[in-house]
Amino acid sequence: MAELGLKRLTKVYTQAQPPAVDQLDLAINDGEFVALLGPSGCGKSTTLRMVAGLESVTNGEIRVGGKLVNHVHPKDRGVGLAFENYALYPPLKVRENLAFNLKAHGVNGKEIAKRVKEIARTLRIEELLDLKPAVLSSGQKQRVNMARAMVRRPAVLLLDEPLSHLDARLRVELRTEIKRLHAEQRFTTVIVTHDQLEAMALADRIAVMNEGKLQQFDTPLEVFNHPANEFVAGFLGEPPMNIFRAVVDSGQLIIPDTQFSLPLSTFLENRLGPRKEVKLGIRPWGIRISATEAEGSFVGKIAVVENLGDETRVGVRYGEILLMSSIPVTKRYQPGQQVYLSFNDEDLNLFDVSNGARLSDRENERDSDRWENRDVAHLR
Amino acid sequence: MASLQLTGLTKFYGKRRGVENVSLDIPDQEFLTVFGPAGAGKTTTLNLIAGIVTPNQGSVRIGTRVVDSLEPADRNVAMVFESYALYPQLTVYQNMVFPLKSPKHRLPAQEAERRVHHFAGMLKIDHLLNRPIQALSNGQRQRTALGRALVRQPDLFLMDEPLSHLDAKLRHSMRAELKEMRDQLGTTTIYVTHDYLEAMSLGDRVAVINHGQILQLGAPDEVYFRPATVEVAQLFGDPEINIVEAKIQRKHREAIRLQMLGEDWSASVPEDIGRMLDALSSDTIQVGFRPADVEIAADGKTGFHGVVYSFEPLGTKSVLTIDSVGGQRVRALVDGHRTFQVDRRVNFSVSTRALIFFDRDNARYLARSSQTEEEYSHG
């Protein structure tokens, strides 16, 4: 096991196009689990393939355990890669599939048997060892696939969308297993995924990427609660954060086409500075809905009610904006009903209109993790 | 506008069962979601209604017409597929007006134009009418496809996973938007999906289907809170419902003593349920409770005992997987601001009113210990 360092890592396929990966800096600690998260085409898979040695590096450095590996042969880098598609050898039994790379590396038979047994126990595939890949379920194949990457005891384990081909039930199960496995084994692990829940659930830190560039690299809760920019804010969270444009007018922050106008509190002023225009973001569970008016609340009409069992979502329409909120399931509303919306300033995210960057009150924000203190009991 | 009646529909593909003995009565203007996993028989059902597939047995009636001998084109149903099959080089307007130029649905040009504008306005794509499909976002394409189906004013809308290829974020907002439009459609709709959130959100009722058979037909709350079988219970909810075996040790009128998760537990249940459990021939049942109904005891003492197997934060909520004393693994959905260490001991309780009882042998629904709907306040 080792740390993995990427320094100004860049990949250019053709000069005609922007870099697939653009000066990516990541310092991943020994034993850490990091998720590369982003939409398709964001450069996350290219990054992983460069680390694995399957893709040449245009510029920058890859270091495994401090050692520069840019030009080291893939099999000598000490990285183990488990692909999305399994690429197991069909004629070989699971046991032989696991042993294959060890044999190629000249590990002796006794040691191979021992390691295969160990990894099979860890990944709970002991009963599969004498079967051929064709008879395995996709969940079993995925575990064998991971076992094959891990049996070599790589310094860094690389997982490329390992769960995306599985059905929902198996995905949740295997996600738990991977998380547990990491808690036990503490392999330095990098997972590539487009699924924000998977990244949140598994990773110690998440590197959010878009258009080849790193957007934010931080713990899941920090990325979730203090997104560095509008892209990150919109990419994480289900249902997605409500984001809309607002303008400053005579001491108020006004959202055009709605009845919303907020007095400029210290919270807002500290972040707005001299700006006259801003993007406002609020997560669905930051919005409270009531049938009765209260001070500072805004009137609206319910357009959509979604009763989802453990969760109720209510949509209020203002022109083009459908403002979604997540409310306690014990409250029942009807479409067409007039309601009053309210929220705390502290739950608002402000983003610069020109570049989408988060406007923060840096001195206070990071230290005071409001999330720890707020009441989210209804979200059980 | 029309009602829809399916009677004993059966379709085998060789020896493989597509659907068997499917009967459904769908009133005019109902929005019915047909929900099940891949290979359940959802699309076969839809194709049987559309007339694309001929049944081995059974009958389809739309409104007052039995349509079994009618060609698909003569049934006056409109299908909206997962892939929209729009003409990419044509504009939104040209795509929407297209059906109204076909021999079957031809309308005078002025009336056709009026209809396109009417439905484009309803779907909020009237400002896009002159744009080619290529230039549209996924959501806008979705609306165009819906609009093209709407202009024909069909008796019946058939939708086959129209949101399934959208990314997760867009799917949530498109679902809400579709729901908002739903009531304006004014058309009986059969909507096929493998996504339980879509099934619950959109459907007036949900037909849960698997292995070619209808497992349950009911309002969303009904299938969620009173699932007909363990299988139905497991198809709704993420993470999946916890199902554990429990031994009824002693039954009183209002309290039952259950042995489950390796521990003894007194649970108070309504009198009628106590009586029902009393009357069972077996003393073993299956008990279901959803992860959101598991509470981690703050005092660390009361309730069931377990050890944290895994902790997965998801933002506002986290999934906590616990190994119980009895060895069964239990999933809990907990506040996003709480953190738990792996291998730490925890105590947890399950709200009695959240318990769903199933027969041990046939896995059928027996009872739920509360009348959920009554607990809800209005507004």
Instruction: Find the residue in B nearest to A336 (Cα).
Output: B180
Q: CA B89: distance to chain centroid? A: 35
Return the pLDDT at A248: 92
Facing A291 at nearest CB: one of B177, B317, B379:
B379
Query: Are the beta carbons of A332 and B378 separated by less than 8 Å?
Result: yes
Query: Are the beta carbons of A376 and B316 separated by less than 8 Å?
Result: yes
Helical (H) or strand (E) element with A182: helix A168-185
- The ipTM estimated for the assembled molecules is 0.85
Return the pLDDT at B374: 46
CB of A238 within 8 Å of a chain B CB? The answer is yes
Contact B287, B357 (CB under 8 A): yes
Give the least confident one: B116-120, B207-211, B253-257: B253-257
Return the pLDDT at B55: 97
Best of B180, B194, B205, B356 to substitute, by most chain A Cβ atoms within 10 angstroms, is B180
Return the pLDDT at A86: 64
CB of A176 within 8 Å of a chain B CB? The answer is yes
Return the pLDDT at A363: 56
Helical (H) or strand (E) element with A25: strand A21-28
pLDDT of residue B148 exceeding 80, the answer is yes
Query: Are the beta carbons of A376 and B377 separated by less than 8 Å?
Result: no
Return the pLDDT at A367: 41
Return the pLDDT at A167: 80
pLDDT along chain A (380 residues), means of 10: 94 94 97 95 94 95 96 91 78 93 89 92 89 87 87 91 82 89 91 94 97 97 95 93 92 84 89 93 94 90 92 89 89 92 92 94 52 36
How far is it, in rounded angstroms, from Cα A339 to Cα A245? 22
Return the pLDDT at A377: 34
Highest mean pLDDT among A81-95, B266-280, B328-342: B328-342
Q: Which residue has the tokens 């409310």?
A: A327
SS3 for A262?
A: strand
Q: In what order do the strands lie in the sheet with A188-193?
A: A79-82, A156-160, A188-193, A33-37, A205-210, A213-218
- Between B158 and A378, the more confident residue is B158
Return the pLDDT at A330: 81
Which pLDDT band holds residue B253 (cuts at 50, 70, 90)?
low
Q: CA B53: distance to chain centroid? A: 24
Best of B124, B143, B164, B172 to substitute, by most chain A Cβ atoms within 10 angstroms, is B172
CB-CB neighbors (< 8 A) of B322 in chain A:
none
B26 to chain A, closest Cα gap in Å: 21
CB of A16 within 8 Å of a chain B CB? The answer is no
Contact A237, A283 (CB under 8 A): yes
Return the pLDDT at A364: 57
B65 to chain A, closest Cα gap in Å: 34
Residue count (chain B): 379
CB of A319 within 8 Å of a chain B CB? The answer is no
Question: Above pLDDT 70, what percent of chain B?
Answer: 94
Return the pLDDT at A379: 35
Burial B326-358 (b: 16+ CB within 10 A, else e): bebebbbbbbbbeebeeeeebbbebbbbbbbbb
CB-CB neighbors (< 8 A) of A331 in chain B:
376-377, 379
Return the pLDDT at A376: 36
CB-CB neighbors (< 8 A) of A317 in chain B:
180
Contact A98, A86 (CB under 8 A): no
How far is it, in rounded angstroms, from Cα B144 to Cα A377? 41
CB of A294 within 8 Å of a chain B CB? The answer is no
